Each structure stands twice: as C-alpha cells, then as structure tokens.
Homo-oligomer: A and B are copies of this chain.
C-alpha cells in the first residue's frame, strides 16, 4: 500500500539507523532519550529519524515539547514483505518459473533490487 519501498534500502543501510530501530523495538522513545542510548549527538539522531520517517519505518507522536517516536508496524511489515519476495525468488531460482512462462527472468528481480537513482 502507498509508496512503500521508496528508499528503504538506504534507510536500513546505516548502522546508526538500525540501532535506532532496535531501540524503538517494543517501546516509544523521545529524541533526547534515543540520543542518550546512542554514541551520536541529538541532531544526528534527529536527522536519522527524518530518513526513517520518510521511509515509513517510524511514526511520530507529539507530547508537549517532546517528540515521541515509535516503529511503524505497517512500514516495517511492507519492508519485510519486499525482502521476503526477493529472498524466495533468489533461493528457488525462479528461472524455472520463467521457463514455464517463456518470459525474460531477470526483470522481476531487478525491480526488487534497484528502485533508486
């Protein structure tokens, strides 16, 4: 649904962003709290959260002057499905499938992989 998968690869490609997602797994956290648990400054966390939000991987909730961030289950699930589709194709060697349909095999997988630039 929606435009998921826009730049999810870039989003989860950075170690700090993965650490942020790990911190948010199961509990909500404000920006400052995240920065306390990570070896980077608060503005750095803020910038990473911006990327994660653009990728629909986190959601925002305002509480007074604080911004509480939380994982977005829908976005995470979408990313999971996207990866799952690829793995299954790669593992089964879907060339066999394409052979039965007479199509060029690589098209689907390429779409799975390079949706950037």
User: Interface on A for B, CB 8 Å cutoff?
Assistant: 9, 12-13, 15, 18-19, 21-23, 25-27, 37, 71, 73, 76-77, 79-80, 83-84, 87, 89-91, 93-96, 98, 105-106, 109-110, 112-114, 116-117
Contacts and interface: CB of A to CB of B under 8 A. Distances in A.
B114 A18 contact: yes
A92 B87 CA distance: 22
Give the number of copies in the complex. 2
A87 B57 CA distance: 11
Nearest to A24: B90
B90 A25 contact: yes
17 contacts: A13-B13, A15-B113, A15-B117, A19-B110, A19-B114, A21-B113, A23-B109, A25-B90, A25-B94, A26-B90, A26-B98, A26-B105, A26-B109, A27-B105, A27-B106, A73-B91, A77-B87
With most chain B CB atoms within 10 A of its CB, the pick from A12, A80, A84, A90 is A90
